[in-house]
Structure formats: C-alpha cells, structure tokens
Amino acid sequence: MKSNALLSLGALLLVLLALGVALVVTGGRRGAELQAANGPPPGEVWLPPGSPKLASISVDTVRARNERVVVVLPAQLALDEDHTVRVASPVTGRVRTLDAAPGDRVAAGDALAHIVSGDVAQAQSDLQRAEAALTTATTSLARARDLFAHHIVAQRDLQQAVNDSAQARAERDRAQARVGQLGAGPDVGAEYVLRAPIGGDVVDRVANPGMEVRPDLPAPLFTVSRLDTLWLTAGVYERDLNRVRRGQRVLFTTEALPERTIAARIAHVSSALDPGTRTATLRALVPNAGRVLHPSMFGEVQIVAPDSSGLPVVPTLALITQGAQTMVFVRTAPGRFALRPVQVTNDDGATAVVVAGLRPGEVVVTRGSLLLSAEAAPAR
C-alpha cells in the first residue's frame, strides 16, 4: 500500500511538471507573437528582409582610435621643386617658333622653342677658327721638331711652338664646349633649339613667337615639372611647433575632392620662422599618380600622432542630435536597429571619439540615420 501511494505521488509530480513546461513554452511563444504583433520596442526600427529602405542604409564598424589629431592647419599644394626646372634662354635672340604649350607632356631633350640667335653663329664661327688655328699650330710644331732635330733652330723656338700648339688646342676645346653647350652642330648657323632638361609637364610658358630673349630675363621662358608628386606646404604657428616633427603622418583634404583624404608624411619643418607670418614652413611629399591634384590647390591638413587610449571612433555621419542628446543607431541584428545615447568628443567633421555608450566592434548606421530616426518606434 505504501509503495503504491509513493508511485501515485511520483506520477502526479511528473504530470504537474509537464504542465508547467507546457505553460512556460506556450507563454513564451505568445509573448513573442504579441511583441511581433505590437511592433518593435521604443527607440528601435525593424525592417523586414527585402525592404527597399535597407538600400538607403550604410553601416560601419566601431574601431578603437590608434591616432589623434594634434594640429589642424590651412595648407596648399605646390610644385615638387626637386623635379621642377625653369628653362631660360642661354643666348640672345628672337623666338622663331614654339614647340610646346602649357599642359603638354614632354620628354627630356624635346624641343620647346626655336630661337634665331647670333650667339650660336658666333660660337660656331669661333670653333671653326679655333680648329684652323690648331691645325696650323700642330703643323708648325711638327716642323719645329724636325728643324730642331737637324740643329737648324734653337730649343727656344721649339718650346715656343709647343706653347702655341697647347694654346691653340685649349682654345679649340673651349669653343667646342661652347658649341656643345648650345646643342649646335659644327656648321655655322643662326638657330638655337631650346630643349627640355627633364621629362614632365609644361606648367607655364611666357615665351611668344617673335619675342626677344636674353639670358638675364627676369622670368623663365618655360617651367617643366613632374606632376606625379607634389609638395604639401603649411605654416605652423609657434604654439604648435612642439607637436610637429619630421616623419609625422598628415592627412590632407580639399573641397575639390570632398570624398578623399590624402595621407603623407612630413619631410621638412623649417628651422626659422617667417618674420612676416611668424610661422615655420611644413612640407610633405604627396603622391599624385592619378593627376587629380593640382599645384596651388588649397585645403586643410591634419597632423596626427599615435594614441593608445583605445577609445571608440565613429564617423560623424553616424551621429544624431535629439534635443541635448547625441544618439547613434546600433545594428542589433540583420534589419534591426536600436537608438542609443552616446557621449562624444573631438568631432573633427569626419570622425568623432566616443567616451561613453559604444564599444569597439559594434556596428553603427552611417548613411540613413535620419531615415531610421523618423521610423523609430515612439515610447508607449
């Protein structure tokens, strides 16, 4: 009897346990169904798979900051003077024809202009006279040596012939070097070809057909530069000099390329201040392989330094202002986004540092934040 009672009690307990599990499962399903029927909780947006609104939303992963901006300065691009040549005329004359225009790309040795010049004819004439004088002096030296060997002339006469020959050879070499410097041939002519010393782009030209030129003109006739690299220059104020050093990374932005940031490293910081502006010149070498950057283009340069704080960084596009609060949308699951308050600092217009409310690795909405803000479920 006692054992039968125990068995009955055990069976009753099993039945009650099964009923409890069934109630919990049923209640959970009903809760989920009820929540789905009532929509997302306040401050959240749920978009079903395939919703056209998903195409208007972009997300980005929150990253830990590894560098920080220490100085922001106005900056300007300039020609790379290490690969720039300003070409002047080494002769006096008149421009007959122009062979290159601004914007043309030339190779080293290409003709830039043809100049009619008496200096070229003079140099060629001097070379011919020097060669004739050397021939005469060489012949005289040979005759003097023969006469001296037969004791017909004195040694003094032989030495004079040797000196005359040496002087004639030196004069011939000088005249030959002058003609070679002008790039002219040995025959007498009156045309000088002005050539590009390096390959690059013709970025400026002041020469015109018929223009009278001479070596001491104040402005060069042509400026040729390789535009594959440019100089980035900025003036560093005295208060910022202790935060700027050679080799430091810089980020350049310009209104001409609003979606692009060009990274470079500081190659030079002048050791003396400009007396007029009280600034030191900063210079960095900027790659320009696509030729999208141009000399004299203005922009802004951010000088950055390493940062080991590990604070989260988000794009400024992710931030939403609601009253006095700054918010972001965090993606909690595919198609589900939750509004979350954050505290930010160091907002430079591109990124902002989050001091509270986010962790590195979380995913936030960048493009489309305002759309989600309009769709967010209100508090009930």
**Domain layout of the chain by residue ranges:** 44-65+310-375, 70-82+225-306, 118-189
- Residue ranges of the chain whose pLDDT lies below 70: 1-39, 183-189, 348-349, 377-380
Architecture of the domain whose range is 44-65+310-375: Beta Barrel (2.40)
DSSP H helix total and E strand total for the chain: 4, 23
pLDDT at site 192: 84
> Is residue 75 classed exposed, middle or buried when 0-12, 13-18 and 19+ CB atoms within 10 A define those classes?
buried
**CATH fold label, 118-189:** Helix Hairpins (1.10.287)
> Residue 260: what pLDDT?
86
- Distance of alpha carbon 287 from alpha carbon 335, whole angstroms: 41
Q: Does this model's pTM top 0.85?
A: no
> Is 70-82+225-306 CATH 3.40.50.720?
no
Report pLDDT for 15: 47
Q: What are phi and psi of 144, to 5 degrees?
A: -65, -40
Nearest to 315 by CA among 355, 353, 371: 353
